[in-house]
Amino acid sequence: MNYKCLIIGGGPAGYTAAIYLARAAMSALLVEGPQPGGQLTTTTMVENFPGFPDGVDGNMLVQNMRQQAINVGANIVTATVRSIDLSQRPFTAVLEDGSTVTADAVIIATGAQAKYLGLDDERKYAGLGVSACATCDGFFYRRKVVAVVGGGDTACEEAHYLSNLASRVYMIVRKNYLRASAAMQQRVAERDNIEVLYNCNTVGLYGEGGVEGAHLVRNLGTADEERFDLPIDGFFLAIGHAPATAFLGGQVQVDEAGYIVTRDHSTATSVDGVFAAGDVANAQYRQAIAAAGDGCRAALDAMTFLNQA
Ligand code: NDP
């Protein structure tokens, strides 16, 4: 079947786009991916999404978005888009089982995943002191001690944000310098309660029922190697994100970090009829509310395109 619009990605951006298209009676299919819900499913309480005065469980929030989309008539399938041909309209997507879907417009809302170090302990303490989003979870560490891993702009921004809440913030940096811009480094330097631990790698976490500290190694692999434990309550990853764009096979313009480039202050991409919404096109904001807003914009942009096509 040919749809007016194919939405790829089951997170706040994708579900919001589906709600708008369904309510406009545009035939649309949302292919939500193998792990519907996206990053919200890995967070606990969300207190910064307006409309929930007492906060809302991240999983419930995204499940509600999905249910809302279904209630207004959206078609949703739990499947993965393996590849897509954007060279001609209608566009043709190939799903994991080999079946194909065609559509006159496409909204890419596949998100980005925070990178982790790959330690077993990160999984063990997921939601129990390990986080990859200071804006989401920092509030739970008021007057506590936290560590941020990474030395880039994100790490500095997260450390700075956390320094307003936590009593002490350590930055665990594997090199002897910060990669972040001078401006971000300056913001970190101005905070008395941020301490940068250079030349340090995390090799494990410890704690009964939650993070109580990190096992660190200074000068790993050298004659000066030194192992020590850092008592902390929260361990924040800020070593970059990976936007999910591999299935596009380079057909849509991305920036040097792999994020889809949008143009003309809209969600339009380098390919006419293809729109991008949420974290896959946005390295800067990475918030559920921003992604939902993007989903709305992408649906409206797609409708305008379809009405003019
Ligand atoms: P970056 O890739 O810039 O930095 C990643 C950091 O994590 C680096 O310090 C890197 O160390 C470290 N790192 C990576 N892998 C590991 C690992 N396995 N163990 C320990 N440390 C590791 O990512 P960001 O998310 O910081 O930034 C992404 C892009 O977004 C950048 O272009 C950045 O400028 C931009 N950005 C801009 C902001 C702003 O202007 N306000 C805010 C946030 C992001 P190493 O240096 O050793 O490689």
CATH number reported for the structural domain that contains residue 198 in this entry: 3.50.50.60
- Do 262 and 197 lie in a common domain? no
5: annotated active-site residue? no
Per-residue pLDDT tens listing for the chain (309 residues) = 899 999 999 999 999 999 999 999 999 999 999 878 888 876 677 888 999 999 999 999 999 999 999 999 999 999 999 999 999 999 999 999 999 999 999 999 999 988 999 999 999 999 899 999 898 899 999 999 999 999 999 899 999 999 999 999 999 999 999 999 999 999 999 999 999 999 999 999 999 999 999 999 999 999 999 999 999 999 999 998 899 999 999 999 999 989 999 999 999 999 999 999 999 998 888 899 999 999 999 999 999 999 998
**Tally of structural domains, the chain:** 2
Q: Is 258 in the pocket of ligand 1 (CB under 6 A)?
A: no
- Domain around 183: 120-237
- Do 143 and 218 lie in a common domain? yes
* Distance of alpha carbon 294 from alpha carbon 292, whole angstroms: 5
- Do 171 and 188 lie in a common domain? yes
Is pTM beyond 0.85? Reply is no
* DSSP bridge partners of 254: 260
Query: Which of 201, 203, 239 maximizes ligand 1 atoms within 8 Å of its Cβ, making it the mutation to test the pocket?
Result: 239
- Do 215 and 290 lie in a common domain? no
* Distance of alpha carbon 164 from alpha carbon 177, whole angstroms: 23
Nearest alpha carbon, ligand 1 atom 5: 239
Q: Catalytic residue, from 5, 104, 121, 136: name it.
A: 136
* Distance of alpha carbon 285 from alpha carbon 271, whole angstroms: 23
200: annotated active-site residue? no
User: Residue 142 CB: number of other CB atoms within 10 A?
Assistant: 11
296: annotated active-site residue? no
Q: How far is the centre of ligand 1, averaged over its atoms, from the C-alpha of 149 (Å)?
A: 10
Q: Catalytic residue, from 5, 104, 121, 137: name it.
A: 137
